[in-house]
Amino acid sequence: MMEIYLDNGATTKPFEEVIDKMCKILKQDYGNPSSLHKKGIDAEKHVTESKDIFSKILKVNSKEIYFTSGGTESNNLAILGVANAYKRSGKHIITTSMEHSSVKNTIINLEDNEYEITVLPVNSEGLINLDELKESIRKDTILVSIMHVNNEIGSVMPIKEIGKLIKEVNKETIFHVDAIQSFGKFNIYPQKWNIDLLSISGHKFHAPKGIGVIYINNNIKISPIIFGGYQQNGIRSGTENIPGIVAITYAAKIMYDNLDDNVQYLYKLKKYLAEKLVDEIPEVFINGMNVNKGAPNILSIRFNNIRGEVLLHSLEEKQIYVSTGSACSSNKPSKSGPLQSIGLTNEEALSTIRFSFSINNTIEELNKCVEEIKKVVPMLRKFVRH
Ligand SMILES: Cc1ncc(COP(=O)(O)O)c(C=O)c1O
């Protein structure tokens, strides 16, 4: 049976070339970049080269690139790092109701420590109201943390506009963007877009898990959350994960060398599946943004009168892998946060399936997926109605 992986928002399969590079590093360049001898210098070169490549992709200074253990750590460092460094300037933080748990729970933790939090609601497309954002920025607002692409419904926040607006109201307010779902699918320019902190995670674009990046604007202060040997200027202590760093950099390079073609191909897959499901199966609805406006790789669909989880397991039997909400929240039995935020009822949220694509997927796979869904949906609906 052909395995069809349509859960690339949860994680992606590492590129073969990336695995090969990593293996080579593990075998040959195993030195510690802090060592003074040749093995150390060779390892250090990989860090420098990687920072250079990331700085070119983001059009920033290479000294503003730091490697972390992944998206969760980058988000934690951004939020806790700013909260701690700027606590004398203010304790007000703004975020949205759509954020990933690695942002949401970090901010909740700050609320317990006397920070004041404003959570902006979103509309049915998953977008905040910019006037509301403008009104909520105060003199003591030290941080605004807003995601670029939502992991569950694929909504795309107008980050450039948001950055401009924040700095117009209060130029001291720091802007953090969780770009974990958008990096590799969008051009992102922190300097031009007034982004001070940007979180990136390797396993969302064909690098392995456990490696991430954070861009930190040189002009802002940040308190470390990990203390140790003062690697990466003390901002992120700990011996650098050289195989991971080389892997995330190489994967990023592959994504950005072919960005336009990749994005076009992802949209083609997404539109094809959306059209087929909506046209060929009754009572199927797309959540959030119009297919052309949302992220190229995420399609959130509800199948009325069906439990998403039951459909997921039926497809799993055919080796077709999809997701209900996001993988990170699928251990929660209730409806997911973003689906609730865009105004879905409990029933609607529970009937949602997220299909998320990668450039490795094919139209043939989507045809097979639709064929199986068409077989199983009527059976599951009969079962629910009885
Ligand atoms: C939007 C978003 N932010 C943060 C994360 C966490 O990233 P990581 O899995 O690298 O810790 C995820 C992972 O799904 C995500 O989708």
Write down the pLDDT at residue 201.
98
Contact 321, 5 (CB under 8 A): yes
Catalytic entry in 4, 60, 120, 328: 328
If DSSP codes are grouped into helix, strand and coil, which group holds residue 52? Answer: helix
- With 60 as the cut, is the pLDDT of residue 326 above it? no
- With 50 as the cut, is the pLDDT of residue 186 above it? yes
Per-residue pLDDT band for 21 (boundaries 50, 70, 90) equals very high
pLDDT, averaged across the chain = 95
Tell me: the pLDDT tens digits for 213-268? 999 999 999 999 999 999 999 999 999 999 999 999 999 999 999 999 999 999 99
Would the CB of 212 count as within 6 Å of ligand 1? yes
Question: Is 328 labeled as catalytic in the residue annotation?
Answer: yes
All structural domains of the chain, each given as residue ranges with its CATH number in brackets, are: 4-12+259-385 (3.90.1150.10), 16-257 (3.40.640.10)
| pTM for this predicted structure | 0.96
Write down the pLDDT at residue 112.
81
- With 50 as the cut, is the pLDDT of residue 83 above it? yes
Mean pLDDT, residues 155-172:
98
Would the CB of 314 count as within 6 Å of ligand 1? no
Centroid of ligand 1 to alpha carbon of 42 (angstroms): 31
Per-residue pLDDT band for 139 (boundaries 50, 70, 90) equals very high
- With 90 as the cut, is the pLDDT of residue 331 above it? no
Write down the pLDDT at residue 334.
46
Would the CB of 201 count as within 6 Å of ligand 1? yes
- With 90 as the cut, is the pLDDT of residue 72 above it? yes
Centroid of ligand 1 to alpha carbon of 100 (angstroms): 7
Structure tokens belonging to residue 281: 């199966």
Mean pLDDT, residues 184-210:
98
Q: State how far the Cα of 196 lies from the Cα of 368, in Å rounded to an integer.
A: 44
Choose among 338, 261, 348, 344: nearest CA to 302: 348
Centroid of ligand 1 to alpha carbon of 320 (angstroms): 22
- With 60 as the cut, is the pLDDT of residue 196 above it? yes
- With 80 as the cut, is the pLDDT of residue 272 above it? yes
Centroid of ligand 1 to alpha carbon of 108 (angstroms): 17
Would the CB of 47 count as within 6 Å of ligand 1? no
- With 50 as the cut, is the pLDDT of residue 344 above it? yes
DSSP secondary structure letters along 98-118? T--HHHHHHHHHHHTTT-EEE
Write down the pLDDT at residue 385.
55
Beta strands in the chain (DSSP E): 4-5, 65-68, 92-96, 116-120, 141-147, 174-178, 197-201, 212-216, 284-286, 298-303, 320-321, 352-356
> Which residues have CB under 8 Å from 226's CB, separation 6+?
236, 237, 238
Per-residue pLDDT band for 153 (boundaries 50, 70, 90) equals very high
> Which residues have CB under 8 Å from 346's CB, separation 6+?
334, 335
Would the CB of 71 count as within 6 Å of ligand 1? yes
Amino acid at 206: H
- With 80 as the cut, is the pLDDT of residue 329 above it? no
